[in-house]
Amino acid sequence: GNKVTVVLGAQWGDEGKGKVVDLLATESDGVCFFLLQGGNNAGHTVVVDGKEYDFHLFPSGIINPKAISFIGNGVVIHLPGLFEEAEKNEKKGLKDWEKRLIISDRAHIVFDFHQAVDGLQEVQRQAQEGKNIGTTKKGIGPTYSSKAARTGLRICDLLSDFDEFSSRFKNLAQQYKSMFPTLEIDVEGQLKKLKGYAEKIRPMVRDGVYFMYEALHGSPKKILVEGANAALLDIDFGTYPFVTSSNCTVGGVCTGLGVPPQHVGDVYGVVKAYTTRVGIGAFPTEQINEIGDLLQSRGHEWGVTTGRKRRCGWLDLVILKYAHMINGFTALALTKLDILDVLDEIKIGVAYKLGGKRIPYFPANQEILQKVEVEYETMPGWKTDTTGARKWEDLPPKAQNYIRCVENHVGVPDVFSSLVKWVGVGKSRESMIQLF
């Protein structure tokens, strides 16, 4: 059968996954399937023919007229958000998307009240603990809570008996109203809108399990999975509680799409040449100084979804190794190397210390992670513009050393193979250098 190629973030998100997916898609001529697992809070920007598209719920392959895009059961879907996003991108030239989009009938629905509750919970956390999680207020967390509490409603429910759906919707709304007395929900108004959306999406909805089975066992085709978020935002393996509500590591491909493990082929980790993080939480290699400011401004580090400035710091190989242990990357894409072009010296975090001793693991507990000391390796900067580089030989030797240093620490499977397969030195598709 067909193998699935998976592209996953290896840090705290915003590594440039869309670009790697885009690159892999252009290599294939046949029909391509794009799949998405994870929530719709992750924004990704894809530039095609000089036009910038912003996606949240759509897999970035939706631009490709030859491709089918599939939103898996692991994604939670806010229907007004889906159509709003479609409209925005239609204005930029996205055509016929509804003919190319397939939605799993097992995906859970994000309701407007989930979004309202998300905002109220953040306000509550701020009041009680003096800090919030920094969610995108898109209702993701509350929807996954409903899912885990088994009170959630799915696309299949919306499309079957509407009276049954309405009564379950009213019950759920009532539950939230009793928890949050200030919450106002226009139940009848929302149900009316949902009925309209039901008819709009009905042609796109399929049984996701059968759809995936046919894609895996049918004619040969390229199947690409784009994971939302990143390893350190995974509900199990991330820096809990400052994480998303789903599994965005490789296991999410099996559970979020219905793909058996033996169909998972290459797993590509996308890693930025430095580290960024949105919102609060421990960040050992963070640079709250002119280095951090420089990375922030040169790298245009603010969120697609929220417009928040991203916190910036040196590349942290402890995080990358940890992500590699969980995901088993077959290769890495190292993006935004050109952002480091102007630095005199560059540091790479190679180990964590607690009480002066190296620790051989990534601490699960936030308070401990706040206390770790980072051991750095310092390298001279290359002080050369790399944005014109198109092959390995074009990169300055010091930049090549930086890349080799990453490979050596993360652990190359054997002497003859490399781990970094692509190096990104700019925005365009052409600026991804392929090494092997």
Q: How far apart are CA 63 and CA 60, in angstroms?
A: 7
Q: Bridge-partner residues for 4, per DSSP?
A: 223, 264
pLDDT digits (tens, 9 = 90+) for 337-392: 999 999 999 999 999 999 999 999 999 999 999 999 999 999 999 999 999 999 99
Average pLDDT over residues 323-350: 97
Asked if pLDDT for residue 42 goes beyond 80, the answer is no
What pLDDT is attached to residue 373?
98
Asked if pLDDT for residue 58 goes beyond 90, the answer is no
Give the residue, 312 or 307, on which the prediction is more confident: 312
pLDDT digits (tens, 9 = 90+) for 258-295: 999 999 999 999 999 999 998 889 999 999 999 999 99
What pLDDT is attached to residue 194?
97
pLDDT digits (tens, 9 = 90+) for 237-253: 999 999 888 898 999 99
Q: What angle do CA 15, 19, 21 make, to 5 degrees?
A: 105
Q: Which of 435, 429, 436 is nearest to 48 (CA)?
A: 429
Average pLDDT, the chain: 90
What pLDDT is attached to residue 280?
86
What pLDDT is attached to residue 222?
87
Average pLDDT over residues 299-325: 90
147 is known as an active-site residue? yes
What pLDDT is attached to residue 267?
96
62 Cβ neighbours under 8 A, 6+ residues apart? 34, 55, 69, 89, 94, 97, 100, 101
What pLDDT is attached to residue 374?
98
What pLDDT is attached to residue 117?
92
What pLDDT is attached to residue 302?
85
Tokens linked to 91: 């204005």
Share of the chain above pLDDT 90, in %: 67
Asked if pLDDT for residue 103 goes beyond 80, the answer is yes
Give the residue, 54 or 436, on which the prediction is more confident: 436
Work out the pLDDT band at 417, boundaries 50, 70, 90: low
What 8-state DSSP symbol labels residue 34?
E
Q: How far apart are CA 272 and CA 196, in angstroms?
A: 42
Q: How far apart are CA 378 and CA 189, in angstroms?
A: 60
What pLDDT is attached to residue 76?
92
What pLDDT is attached to residue 140?
87
- Sole residue written with tokens 């051989």: 360
**Least trusted range by pLDDT, from 33-42, 134-143, 425-434:** 33-42
What pLDDT is attached to residue 304?
66
- In order of their start, the domains of the chain are 4-102+207-267 (3.40.440.10), 109-201 (1.10.300.10), 271-434 (3.90.170.10)
pLDDT digits (tens, 9 = 90+) for 131-161: 666 666 788 889 999 999 999 999 999 999 9
Work out the pLDDT band at 41, boundaries 50, 70, 90: low
Q: How far apart are CA 428 and CA 19, in angstroms?
A: 8
Asked if pLDDT for residue 414 goes beyond 70, the answer is no
What pLDDT is attached to residue 37?
63
Q: Bridge-partner residues for 227, per DSSP?
A: 37
Q: Pick the catalytic residue from 19, 147, 222, 272.
A: 147
